[in-house]
Structures are given as structure tokens and as C-alpha cells.
């Protein structure tokens, strides 16, 4: 069975990556499987261990690093680490499914470097900063301090967008989903009808 491909989405927090991924996961023809990352942050809202993330203590996270269990990991926010597990990449691509992941800009570019033509990097751009702020507030899952930190980081993150294979603006959700879907189909070799 041919190995699955790797689809990497990256964007400032609140741009809509998770929403877009959620809609794409409902399209069986794309054969997508979500790579669950590990993080040292606390679960928010209804997040569950083993669904959105593997939630680890800082100590457990460090142990996974020492054991060489990450393809890549980053301290995305001060004191908060996130990492892609080797076991997830092997499980998904080995089963012939296409792996979809949501990682920070540096993680995205590192994974692309490692997997080359087997990976595509897609940057999801918010229409503007005010809309990004509105979306972060509307989501209602983060404290004011966390929202400020995430907004503060967004410009830095957007400065990486020219290094991505594709940039898609998430203004109207349906249109953005269609564009990401079409980029994925082209990449994995499914004909658009
Ligand atoms: P991310 O995963 O990039 O942090 P989310 O998918 O959690 O972002 O989206 C942040 C918030 O914005 C959510 O409340 C989501 O429902 C909303 N949202 C996402 N895309 C759009 C859009 N195109 N128009 C309006 N609201 C959106
Ligand atoms: P959140 O806390 O909103 O779920 O995610 C915060 C940031 O961490 C996002 O930019 C997300 O893309 C990134 N992230 C999630 N998982 C990983 C990962 O495995 N590796 C890296 N480098 N970043 C990740």
C-alpha cells in the first residue's frame, strides 16, 4: 500500500485552522487522519486527552523529548510546548491515509524540510487583525492574557507565510474550505470534478 501524504496547516491562533480541518475531516474521499500532537498546556473547553491533543505535564513532555519520540517540537508560547509524535506520523502514513496536522510556523517548515515532496504546507491567513481578534474573543476559550499573547505573536507568524507552498485567506469559511480542499486534492492526486 502506498504511504499517505502529509498536509500541514499553520496560521495564527484564531484564524480558523481547526474549523477548516474539522470540515475537511468529514470528506471521506480525502482519506484524512488528524495527527494528534502532544502539548504541555492545559485542556480548554471540552478538549479531551487523545482527541485534540495528548495533554502532558511539562515533566512528561521533557521525558518524551529525551526518548526521541518527537519528529519536531517547539516552545510555541513561553513555557508551553507542542510536539509532533513519530508514532502518529508512522501510524497514519503507514496505514495509507493522508496525515493532516495543525502546527506552528516553525514546526511546519521543519516538517516540510524533513519530508520534502511528501508534504505540503498551507498557511491559513485571517482577513485582517481586527477579525482575528474578534474570532479569538468569540471562541470564548482563552483568558484575556492568552488572547493578548496570541495576537501579539500573530504578526511574527504571518511574516513566515511567503515560505509556505500555499496561502489561503479565511474570510468566508465555505470558500476557504473549498480552496484548501482543492489544494489537497491536487497534491494527493485526486481529480476535482
Ligand atoms: P484556530 O484553530 O486557527 O485557532 P478556530 O478554528 O478555533 O481557529 O477558529 C477561531 C474562531 O473563529 C472559532 O470560534 C470559529 O468558529 C471562528 N471562525 C473560523 N473561521 C471563520 C470564518 N471564516 N468566519 C467567521 N468565523 C470563523
Ligand atoms: P493551540 O493552543 O491554539 O491549540 O495551539 C497553539 C499553537 O501550537 C498553534 O499555532 C498550533 O498550530 C501549534 N501546534 C499544535 N501542535 C503542534 C505541534 O505538534 N508542533 C508544533 N511545532 N506546533 C504545534
The ligand 2 atom at the shortest distance from the C-alpha of residue 11 is 10
Residues 46-86: tens digit of each pLDDT: 899 999 999 999 999 999 999 999 999 999 988 999 999 99
Q: Whose CA is nearest to atom 21 of ligand 2?
A: 103
**What is the pLDDT at residue 193?**
64
- Ligand 1 close to Cβ of residue 12 (< 6 A): no
Of 35, 39, 161, the one to substitute when testing ligand 2's pocket (max ligand atoms within 8 A of C-beta) is 39
Residues 87-141: tens digit of each pLDDT: 999 999 999 999 999 999 999 999 999 999 999 999 999 999 999 999 999 988 8
**What is the pLDDT at residue 95?**
96
The ligand 1 atom at the shortest distance from the C-alpha of residue 22 is 6
Q: Phi and psi (nearest 5°) for 75?
A: -90, 90
**What is the pLDDT at residue 141?**
83
Q: Which ligand is nearest to the CA of 76?
A: 2
Query: Would you say residue 1 has pLDDT above 80?
Result: no
Q: How far apart are CA 90 and CA 32, in angstroms?
A: 14
**What is the pLDDT at residue 191?**
82
Nearest CA among 131, 93, 116 for reference residue 12: 131
Say if residues 192 and 184 touch (Cβ distance below 8 Å): no
* Per-residue cell: 1: 500500500
Query: Mind giving me the DSSP string for 41-54?
Result: SPP-TT--BTTTEE
- Ligand 1 close to Cβ of residue 138 (< 6 A): yes
Residues 28-57: tens digit of each pLDDT: 999 999 999 999 999 988 899 999 999 999
* Per-residue cell: 103: 502546527
Of 22, 135, 174, the one to substitute when testing ligand 1's pocket (max ligand atoms within 8 A of C-beta) is 135
Query: Mind giving me the DSSP string for 3-50?
Result: PPPEEEEE-STTSSHHHHHHHHTT-GGG-EEEPPEEESSPP-TT--BT
Q: Which residues contact 136 (CB under 8 A, 6 or more apart)?
A: 13, 14, 142, 147, 150, 151
- Ligand 1 close to Cβ of residue 17 (< 6 A): yes
- Ligand 1 close to Cβ of residue 112 (< 6 A): no
Amino acid at each position: 500500500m502506498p504511504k499517505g501524504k502529509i498536509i500541514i496547516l499553520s496560521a495564527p491562533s484564531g484564524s480558523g485552522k481547526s474549523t477548516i480541518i474539522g470540515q475537511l475531516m468529514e470528506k471521506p474521499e480525502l482519506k484524512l487522519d488528524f495527527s494528534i500532537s502532544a502539548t504541555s498546556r492545559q485542556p480548554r473547553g471540552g478538549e479531551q486527552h487523545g482527541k485534540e491533543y495528548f495533554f502532558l505535564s511539562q515533566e512528561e513532555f521533557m521525558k518524551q523529548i529525551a526518548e526521541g519520540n518527537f519528529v519536531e517540537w517547539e516552545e510555541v508560547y513561553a513555557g508551553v510546548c507542542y510536539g509532533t509524535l513519530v508514532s502518529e506520523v508512522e501510524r497514519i502514513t503507514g496505514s495509507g491515509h493522508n496525515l493532516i496536522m495543525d502546527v506552528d510556523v516553525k514546526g511546519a517548515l521543519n516538517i516540510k524540510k524533513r519530508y520534502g515532496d511528501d508534504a505540503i504546507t498551507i498557511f491559513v491567513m485571517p482577513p485582517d487583525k481586527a477579525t482575528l481578534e474578534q474570532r479569538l474573543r468569540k471562541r470564548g476559550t482563552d483568558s484575556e492574557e492568552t488572547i493578548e499573547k496570541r495576537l501579539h505573536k500573530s504578526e511574527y507568524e504571518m511574516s513566515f507565510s511567503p515560505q509556505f507552498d500555499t496561502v489561503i485567506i479565511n474570510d468566508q469559511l465555505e470558500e476557504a474550505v473549498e480552496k484548501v480542499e482543492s489544494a489537497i486534492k491536487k497534491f494527493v492526486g485526486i481529480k476535482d470534478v
